[in-house]
Every structure is written in structure tokens, then in C-alpha cells.
Structure 1
Amino acid sequence: MSLKQTLEKFISFYNDQKLDELMEIYADDAVNDQTALRPIHGKEAIRKMLQDQFGRLKAHCIIQNMVEQDNSVAMEWTDPSGFRACTVFYFKEGKIWIQRGYWDKITYCKYHNLDIPRE
């Protein structure tokens, strides 16, 4: 299976909030580094973050474009509100090792009618 195919499966699990299946795609020492947030280190910490997120909102990712090169896949995506972002996934032994999301927190809050953070 190509890295793009692995990522397509990951997005399907994410959109369906299938946490156990999602976690199978992460490496044990994975890092989830969203530019608007603090990095999350380790598979169990990522599980907790996703579990909390799924409990608060119905996140949905619509893939716009994916480019695979060597051990990484860059993905442009939107959500149903029209919010746009980019995430780069780095893989190790077929598992997500580093997930780095590039998006703006204030814009995200505006698109989703959330309070704008003051920090």
C-alpha cells in the first residue's frame, strides 16, 4: 500500500471518528504538531487529544490534493465550512511518525463560530 493510500484510509477513519483504527496508523513515538497548538508527543497522548476532539465536535476533512515524496505526504484539505489548511505527514515503517498541520487558529474559530482565543 502506498503512503497516499494509507493516508486516504487514515482520513476515512478520522471522518468516521474510528479512534482505534486511527491509532493503528500512528507510530508509537509519533508527534502531532499543529502550528496553532502545542506539539503532542506519543501515541497515547495523541489518542487522548483525538478522543477529546471527537467528544467536542464533528471534525471532517475533505482532501483537495495529495503529493507523496519519499517518506512523506503533503495534503491540502478543507472542511465542510470551507476552512482550508495543509498537513504534512512523515512516515516511518509505514506508520505516521510526524503529523505537522499548517493552519490559522483565529480563522478556524471564525469559520466555526467559536470564541477567538486571547493568548
Structure 2
Amino acid sequence: MSPAELLDRWIEAFNAADADALAALYHDDAVNHQVANAPVEGRAAIHAMFAAEFAAAEMVCIPVNRMADGEWAAMEWQDPKGFRGCGFFHVVDGRIRHQRGYWDRLSFERLYASSD
């Protein structure tokens, strides 16, 4: 699977709040580092992270800009509440080896703390 195709599947699984489908896109020893948080290492831990996040908040990823080059895919995204960020995906052998995301944790907490 190319990085662009993988990004399409990632967005689809994320918007379906499907932690199983998301985890399947990562290598067993992958790292997901959302820079506002500590890195999460390993497919099982990444699955647990997504499951916990989907249980805590309804999240939607609307791609604004997308690109792919070589082993990399990247996107700028937003959600319906106006929260924005970007993500970088290093894809090796059709799976994510490393993901890094940048977003403002304080803005996230302000937008979603009132959702409780």
C-alpha cells in the first residue's frame, strides 16, 4: 500500500472511531508521537491509545491539505469545531513505522472538556 493509500485508510478508520482498523495500519514496533503527549510505542499500545481517545471524545479528521512523497505522507487537518493540526506518517512496507502529530493540547482541552 502506498503512503497516499494508507493515509486514505487511516482517515477512514479514524473517522469511524475504529481502533482495530487503525492499529492494523501500524508495524508491530511502530511509534505514534503526538508531540503534545509522550510517544506511544508498539501496535498494542497504539490500539489502546486510540480506544481510550475515542471513548473520551468524538473526534473527526477533515483533511485540509494532503501530500505524499517516497515513504512519507502528510496532512494538515481540522475538525468540525475548528481544531487544527498536522500529521506525518513514515510508511515502510505498506504500514506506518512512525507517526508524528502536531496540535495544541490546550485548545483541544478547551474544545472537548465542555463535551463531558
**How high is the TM-score relative to the length of structure 2?**
0.91
Query: How far apart in 2 are the matches of 1:19 and 1:109?
Result: 21
State the secondary structure of the residue aligned to 1:37.
coil
Identity between Structure 1 and Structure 2 (%): 38
Output one character per residue of 1:40-98: Cα deviation in whole Å (capped at 9) or x when no partner.
Answer: 00000111111111111111100111111111111100011011101101111110111
1:1-119 to 2 correspondences below 5 Å: 1-110=1-110, 112-114=111-113
The 4+ residue runs of structure 1 with deviation greater than 4 A are none
Q: How many residues align?
A: 114
Distance 1:113 1:93, change over 3 A: closer
Give unmatched runs, 5+ long, in structure 2: none
Computed over aligned residues only, the root mean square deviation of the Cα atoms, in angstroms, reads 1.3
**Structure 1: runs of 5 or more not aligned:** none
CA shift digits 1:18-57 (9 cap, x unpaired): 2222121111111010110000000001111111111111
Distance in 2 (CA, whole Å) between partners of 1:33 and 1:39 is: 4
Higher relative contact order (CA 8 A, sep 6+): 2
Question: What SS is found at the alignment partner of 1:82?
Answer: coil
- Looking at structure 2, the residues matched to 22 and 103 of structure 1 have their Cα atoms a distance apart, in angstroms, of 19
CA contact (8 A) 2:64 2:75 kept: yes
The two structures have a TM-score, normalised by structure 1, of 0.89
